[in-house]
Chain A
Amino acid sequence: MNNLVFAWRNLWRNKRRTTITVTAIVVAVLMSTCMSSMQEGMYSKMIDNVVKFYSGYLQIHHNNYWESKSINDVYKPDETFYAQLDSVRDIVHYVPRVESFSLISTGENTKGGAIIGVDPESEDRLSELSRWIHKGECLKQDDDGILVAVNLAKNLKIDIGDTLILLSQGYHGATAAGLFPVKGILKFPSPDLNNFGAYVDIRKAQDFFSMPGMVTSTAILVNNYSDVVNVKNELVTKLQNSYSIMTWDEMQPEIVQMIEGDRAGAVIMKAVLYIVVGFGILGTIIMMVAERKRESGITVAIGMQKRKLQTVMFYETLYMGFLGVFFGFLLSVPLILILLNNPIPLPGESSEVYEKFGFEPVIYFGAQARVFVNQVITVFAMSLLISLYPIIKIRNLKVANALRA
Chain B
Amino acid sequence: MKVIDIKNLTKIYNDSEYKVNALNGIDLSFEEGEFAAVVGPSGSGKTTLLNIVGGLDKPSGGEVIIDHTNIGKLKSSRLIDFRLKNIGFVFQAYNLIPVLTARENVEFIMHLQGKPKAEREKRMKDLMSAVGLSDRIDSRPSKLSGGQQQRVAVARALASKPKFILADEPTANLDSKSTENLLDIMEKLNKEENTTFIFSTHDARVVKKARRVITIEDGKVVSDEIRK
Contact = CB atoms under 8 A, between A and B. Distances in A.
Contact of B95 (A13, A298, A305, A306): A298
Nearest to B160: A303
Given A400-B56, A403-B56, A302 B84 contact: yes
A10 B99 contact: yes
B111 A1 contact: yes
A9 B99 contact: yes
A155 interface: no
B91 A298 contact: yes
B193 interface: no
Contacts of A403: 51, 56, 91
Given A1-B108, A306-B77, A306-B80, A301 B89 contact: yes
Question: Which has the most chain A C-beta neighbours within 10 Å: B57, B95, B104, B156?
Answer: B95
B108 A300 contact: no
Contacts of B95: 294-295, 298
A297 B202 CA distance: 24
B76 A306 contact: yes
A205 B100 CA distance: 84
B99 A301 contact: no
Nearest to B52: A400
Contacts of A300: 80
Interface in B93-117: 95, 97-100, 104, 107-109, 111-113
Contacts of A298: 89, 91, 95, 97
B56 A303 contact: no
B99 A302 contact: no
Contact of B98 (A13, A301, A307, A308): A13
B54 interface: yes
A298 B100 CA distance: 14
A400 B57 contact: yes
B100 A399 contact: no
A310 to B, nearest CB: 12
A303 B81 contact: yes
B161 interface: no
Contacts of B104: 1
B109 to A, nearest CB: 6
Contacts of B83: 301-303
A301 B54 contact: yes
Contacts of B157: 302
B99 A305 contact: no
Interface of A: 1, 6, 9-10, 12-13, 294-295, 298-308, 399-400, 403
14 contacts: A1-B100, A1-B107, A1-B108, A6-B99, A6-B100, A9-B99, A9-B100, A10-B99, A12-B99, A298-B97, A301-B56, A303-B80, A305-B77, A403-B56
Given A303-B80, A303-B83, A306-B77, 19 more contacts: A1-B107, A1-B111, A295-B97, A295-B98, A298-B91, A298-B97, A301-B54, A301-B56, A302-B108, A302-B157, A303-B109, A303-B160, A304-B80, A304-B84, A305-B77, A308-B112, A400-B51, A403-B51, A403-B91
